[in-house]
């Protein structure tokens, strides 16, 4: 606990059902029920929250400044202290955690959402690539992940049957997750971009997640078994794919080291691995053994609402601690092509 100035815990987590499309809902209509649910779990009212931070991307729905609209769902009048990151909500959680560490807030509401259904997310994500050398070629997200998967296969670190097993295990685990988009046996399917088949790729869908953070004794009052964030760190690698060893994730490993992952065993890992091949890379970077329960929620292969799926990993790990199913968990979030940016958090319950 001495790593940081203040003890901070995830005290509540809520998420929507993740669906292929939600045409009948505007973004704020989609977000609001989840905000109500997460606040209700703590008994806090929106006006009592010290800091609010969200993660989303305008490019998904093709709407400029869409996050300002979803603030209507928070109740932003009278004025609140608020911020936004144009990326996964896990990074919004990091910003909120820093805000609490500085003493400027004791509680934070963090939420994230992605409405991918209006556009083609494969094409949309090409716009985050280097605009000079890469984006003009329009390599889509599946293509880039497939290059990484082939590199792993060439290196002898996996094979197509092992990738299929990752997908099958994830969707099997998701049968116990009522929010997941894909549950139970899903055909491995045809190649999307070889060597990745449909079953190796995440579903495209719309969804929302929200988390409440609280500091110290307040966290103990709001939650019977707080999920203490005993370590959190995020790291980035060179943007050029041709500079990186795609079979490894040094940024994940470094973030994990700084977050203290390797100081004691973990029993649970919630990994943001939208492609089956990325789980292979992350397991290696985090040194996970077979004793660790990996993605008991089903992970991103069962539901991958863009910009929320990383925050959901933190939320799922925390929820497992809340209900006593985990003592020490690692949660991971990623952003960018082929695991370019990685955030790692350690969550722990009080010993009992």
Partner 1 sequence: MTAASPPEVLRAPLVVEFPFTRSLGPVQSAFLTGLREGVVLGVKTSDGKVMVPPVEYDPVTAEEIRELVEVAATGTVTTWAWNDRPRPQQPLDTPFAWVLVKLDGADTALLHALDAPGPDAVRTGMRVRVRWAAERTGAITDIACFEPYDGPAGGAAVPHDGSFAGAVTGIVAEARLDYVYSPGRAQTAYIEALSERRTVGERCPSCHKVYVPPRGACPTCGVATTDRVEVGPAGTVTTFCIVNIKAKNLDIEVPYVYAHIALDGAGLALHGRIGGIPYDQVRMGLRVEPVWTEGGRYPDHYRPTGEPDADYDAYKELI
Q: Which residues bind partner 1 (CB under 8 A)?
A: 23-29, 32, 35-36, 46, 59, 61-62, 69, 71-77, 118-120, 122-124, 127, 131-140, 143-144, 146-151, 154, 191, 193-196, 238, 240-243, 246
Specify the residue, 74 or 173, whose C-beta has the smaller distance to partner 1.
Answer: 74
Specify the residue, 41 or 325, whose C-beta has the smaller distance to partner 1.
Answer: 41
What CA–CA distance (Å, rounded) separates 34 from 57?
A: 18
What CA–CA distance (Å, rounded) separates 352 from 147?
A: 46
* Cα distances (Å, whole numbers) of residue 310 to 92, 159, 184, 313: 10, 26, 22, 5
Specify the residue, 75 or 216, whose C-beta has the smaller distance to partner 1.
Answer: 75
Specify the residue, 70 or 268, whose C-beta has the smaller distance to partner 1.
Answer: 70
Asked whether 90 and 310 are in contact (CB, 8 A), the reply is: yes
* 55: enclosing H helix or E strand: strand 51-55
Minimum CB–partner distance for residue 241 and partner 1 (Å): 6
Asked whether 270 and 317 are in contact (CB, 8 A), the reply is: yes
Minimum CB–partner distance for residue 224 and partner 1 (Å): 26
Minimum CB–partner distance for residue 253 and partner 1 (Å): 16
Closest CA to 295 of 202, 199, 170: 170
Specify the residue, 46 or 165, whose C-beta has the smaller distance to partner 1.
Answer: 46
Minimum CB–partner distance for residue 351 and partner 1 (Å): 37
Q: Given the structure tokens 């500079």, which residue do they identify?
A: 243
Q: 7 — phi, psi (to 5°)?
A: -80, 130
What CA–CA distance (Å, rounded) separates 305 from 295?
A: 16
Minimum CB–partner distance for residue 127 and partner 1 (Å): 6
Minimum CB–partner distance for residue 25 and partner 1 (Å): 5
* Cα distances (Å, whole numbers) of residue 336 to 106, 113, 269: 31, 17, 21
Q: Cβ contacts of residue 16 below 8 Å, gap of 6+?
A: 30, 33, 34, 179, 207, 208, 209, 305
What CA–CA distance (Å, rounded) separates 297 from 295?
A: 5
Minimum CB–partner distance for residue 195 and partner 1 (Å): 7
Specify the residue, 245 or 263, whose C-beta has the smaller distance to partner 1.
Answer: 245
Specify the residue, 148 or 268, whose C-beta has the smaller distance to partner 1.
Answer: 148
């Amino acid at each position: 606990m001495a790593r940081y100035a203040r003890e901070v815990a995830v005290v509540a987590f809520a998420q929507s059902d993740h669906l292929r499309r939600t045409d009948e809902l505007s973004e704020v209509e989609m977000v609001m029920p989840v905000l109500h649910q997460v606040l209700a779990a703590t008994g806090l009212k929106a006006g009592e929250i010290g800091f609010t931070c969200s993660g989303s991307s305008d490019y998904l729905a093709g709407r400029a400044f869409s996050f300002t609209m979803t603030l209507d769902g928070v109740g932003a009048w009278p004025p609140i202290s608020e911020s936004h990151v144009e990326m996964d909500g896990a990074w919004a959680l990091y910003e909120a955690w820093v805000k609490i560490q500085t003493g400027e807030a004791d509680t934070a509401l963090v939420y994230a959402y992605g409405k991918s259904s209006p556009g083609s997310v494969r094409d949309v994500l090409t716009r985050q690539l280097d605009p000079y050398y890469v984006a003009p070629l329009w390599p889509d997200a599946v293509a880039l992940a497939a290059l990484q998967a082939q590199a792993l296969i060439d290196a002898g670190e996996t094979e197509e049957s092992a990738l299929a097993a990752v997908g099958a295990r994830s969707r099997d685990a998701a049968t116990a997750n009522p929010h997941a988009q894909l549950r139970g046996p899903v055909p491995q399917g045809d190649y999307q971009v070889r060597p990745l088949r449909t079953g190796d790729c995440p579903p495209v869908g719309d969804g929302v997640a929200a988390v409440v953070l609280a500091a110290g004794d307040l966290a103990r009052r709001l939650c019977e078994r707080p999920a203490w964030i005993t370590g959190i760190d995020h790291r980035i690698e060179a943007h050029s794919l041709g500079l990186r060893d795609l079979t490894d994730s040094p940024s994940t490993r470094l973030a994990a080291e700084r977050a203290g992952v390797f100081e004691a065993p973990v029993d649970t890992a919630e990994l943001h691995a939208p492609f089956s091949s990325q789980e292979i890379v992350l397991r290696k970077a985090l040194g996970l053994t077979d004793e660790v329960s990996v993605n008991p929620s089903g992970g991103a292969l069962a539901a991958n609402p863009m910009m929320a799926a990383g925050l959901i990993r933190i939320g799922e790990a925390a929820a497992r601690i809340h209900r006593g199913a985990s003592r020490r968990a690692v949660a991971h979030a990623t952003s960018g092509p082929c695991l370019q940016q990685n955030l790692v958090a350690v969550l722990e319950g009080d010993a009992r």
